[in-house]
Amino acid sequence: MKIVSACLVGVNCRFNGENKLSAELVEAFKRGGLVPLCPEQLGGLPTPRPSSRIVDGNAYDVLDGRARVSNERDEDVTEEFVRGAREVLSIAEVLNVEAAILESRSPSCGCGRVYD
């Protein structure tokens, strides 16, 4: 079982109400074994929503309370982002997930590289 960023299989969950559909991942989803999740929606944020970015640190700093997530209206959405991350972790543990296929450059899903 693998998690996939929901927007990559066509769910319109991006901040702008659109998706980032990957035909290859849609085919993999049809074969089974992929669980689409959107941490920002699971954290309680609406769609569409203002875009957000991590301020003053990285994701580890956010989880440790040393950095925050702010949207383009300068509203603090750290709580929603952390809640969404924890929800995804809970689901991953329940399903015994082995891997995740994540959209790059997202403040929630991006791994390794979040922004340009």
CB of residue 50 vs ligand SF4: minimum separation in angstroms? 13
Nearer to ligand SF4, 68 or 103 (CB): 103
CB of residue 31 vs ligand SF4: minimum separation in angstroms? 20
How many Cα atoms occupy the beta-carbon half-sphere of 90 within 13 Å? 9
Residue type, 10: G
Nearer to ligand SF4, 47 or 61 (CB): 47
Strand 68-71 with 99-101, pairing? unpaired
Residues shown for the chain: 116
Residues near ligand SF4, by CB under 6 A = 5-7, 13-14, 38-40, 103, 106, 108-109
CB of residue 37 vs ligand SF4: minimum separation in angstroms? 7
Nearer to ligand SF4, 65 or 104 (CB): 104
Place of tokens 């979040």: 114
